[in-house]
Chains A and B, each alone.
Chain A
Amino acid sequence: MDALLHITTLHYLVLGAALFLLGVIGVLTRRNVVIVLMSIELILNAVNLNLIAFSRMWGGLHGQIFAIFVITDAAAEAAVGLGILIAFFRNKETVNIDEVNLLKW
């Protein structure tokens, strides 16, 4: 009980791992591109959670800096990913990732 009530770094890590797994399942199983992209966001957030938990554990701030970089990266990823999605949708009128099976359109 005490292990549950006394929140340590491990708790955050487990939470991050669970989130990461959810993201992985989403990426591997969903067909809707938008939801796949959102699952990737979940994965990135799980990573961020770990980084910040470790940063707290060691008392440094490098983890937070990395989290900020990851967020920047996520923004770039979302912008480009959604751009591709729009271009794809305009040509094929679908958001189904299974139909992205050609190297051209």
Chain B
Amino acid sequence: MPDPTSLSPLDLDTPDKTFLDANELIINMGPQHPATHGVLRVILRLDGEKVLGLECVIGYLHRGVEKIGENRTYAMFNPYVDRMDYVAAVSNGLGYCEAVEKLLAIEAPPRAQHVRVILTELNRLTSHQLWLGTHALDIGAITPLFYTFRDREEILKIFEKYCGARLTTHAFRIGGLQYETYSGFEREVKNFLAFFRPKIDEYEELLTTNRIWLERTRGIGKISAEDCIALGVTGPVLRASGVKWDLRKAQPYANYKNFDFEIPIGENGDTYDRYIVRMAEMRQSVRIIEQAVDALPEGPIMAKVPKVIKPPVGEVYHSIEAPKGELGYFIVSDGSTQPYRVRVRPPSFVNLQALDTMCRGQLVADVIAVIGTLDIVLGEVDR
């Protein structure tokens, strides 16, 4: 039992089962596999090429982020959250900072809120770009990857100029921002938006009407709205199933209520709809950033925050709409400088649960497409 190799129902070393076995075949995918987006291990039960069921084995990237949080001060824990969903680090920071701010009953000043929205939406763009590139690569189209990475670079340059880091940005501080925006920030963001708008069309040109792409994604990995809700699936996957629910609208945080944008939804809840929803979300993000840059107010960037953060005793749950879904932080304070308990509700972790439902009855090659379309980041799943 303690032997980790005996975890799987199949002993892979004994070649007693063959491909012609009348019953079912169990094969192992990962943890080292190019299409599992990290160290995800999937044990597939197959009937020929048809998937009868699957089991995910996760935890290969477990670093005990929640435990670390209990042993760091509130400010010290802030950079750690960037390492969970490392492709959307800004969103993670936003959720954490807002949760602690709520616990402290303070609110970031308007200018900080605006900059937060700009950076978070830019980060949503990078996350979706990375998703699009790798998802298309999984399905066999190699070119979109390079297009998305070319444009992602421009956003990362803005991040780098703003806070010195490209990926794990640590852009926000509890109570606002650490840095004032650099001179020319607005201009550069606007330039980027003007540059990026036609690029979304370019991505769509490559894929949206490509026949092979349609064949590979239409009707694949279908999940109904009811299943989504029952399984707690959120984010673009939920919206592609036709549920018009976005935390930015439903329970607005930061100052999203000031911006005008739409929630794109799909109809069928298949891989193609999820693709369409995410592409539309990129366009909406561009809209939000444009409004935020135009209306960027002057003023302080930091609220009055005590030097040592000691929230009063109590607990708070705060969630935001990360690129992958609902990212929640449940923080229990005991009145000291360190959180008594930090719980992260990771969207990827909960969304990954739906993989089994989505893959049943599909073929093996579709499992790869579905893993890609779920847009999981193993750093966040395993924490």
Interface residue ranges, A against B (CB under 8 Å): 86, 89-91
Contacts and interface: CB of A to CB of B under 8 A. Distances in A.
Interface in B68-103: none
6 contacts: A86-B20, A89-B20, A90-B20, A90-B21, A90-B22, A91-B22
Contacts of A89: 20
A26 B36 CA distance: 49
A86 B19 CA distance: 11
Interface in B355-380: none
A65 B20 CA distance: 38
Interface of B: 20-22
Contacts of B21: 90
A90 B23 CA distance: 9
A84 to B, nearest CB: 14
Contacts, number: 6
A86 B21 CA distance: 10
Nearest to A91: B22
A16 to B, nearest CB: 36
Could you tell me the dominant secondary structure of chain A's interface residues?
helix
A89 B18 CA distance: 11
B120 to A, nearest CB: 57
Contacts of B20: 86, 89-90
B23 to A, nearest CB: 10
Q: Which 6 A-B pairs have the closest CB atoms?
A: A90-B22, A90-B20, A89-B20, A86-B20, A91-B22, A90-B21
A22 to B, nearest CB: 30
A75 B22 CA distance: 26
A88 to B, nearest CB: 11
A81 to B, nearest CB: 16
A83 to B, nearest CB: 12
A33 to B, nearest CB: 14
A83 B285 CA distance: 58
A86 B20 CA distance: 8
Nearest to B23: A90
Contacts of B22: 90-91
Nearest to B21: A90
A91 B20 CA distance: 10
Contacts of A91: 22
A91 B22 CA distance: 8
Nearest to A89: B20
Contacts of A86: 20
A43 B20 CA distance: 29
B19 to A, nearest CB: 11
A42 to B, nearest CB: 26
A90 B18 CA distance: 10
A80 to B, nearest CB: 17
B123 to A, nearest CB: 54
Nearest to A86: B20
A89 B22 CA distance: 9
A91 B23 CA distance: 11
B308 to A, nearest CB: 71
B102 to A, nearest CB: 63
Nearest to B16: A93
B330 to A, nearest CB: 53
A32 to B, nearest CB: 15
A90 to B, nearest CB: 5
A6 B21 CA distance: 55
A89 B20 CA distance: 8
A90 B48 CA distance: 13
A96 B277 CA distance: 57
B14 to A, nearest CB: 14
A67 to B, nearest CB: 34
B22 to A, nearest CB: 5
A30 B22 CA distance: 26
A91 B21 CA distance: 9
A89 B21 CA distance: 9
A70 B20 CA distance: 30
A90 B20 CA distance: 7
A77 to B, nearest CB: 21
A76 to B, nearest CB: 22
B15 to A, nearest CB: 13
A101 to B, nearest CB: 21
A54 B250 CA distance: 89
Contacts of A90: 20-22
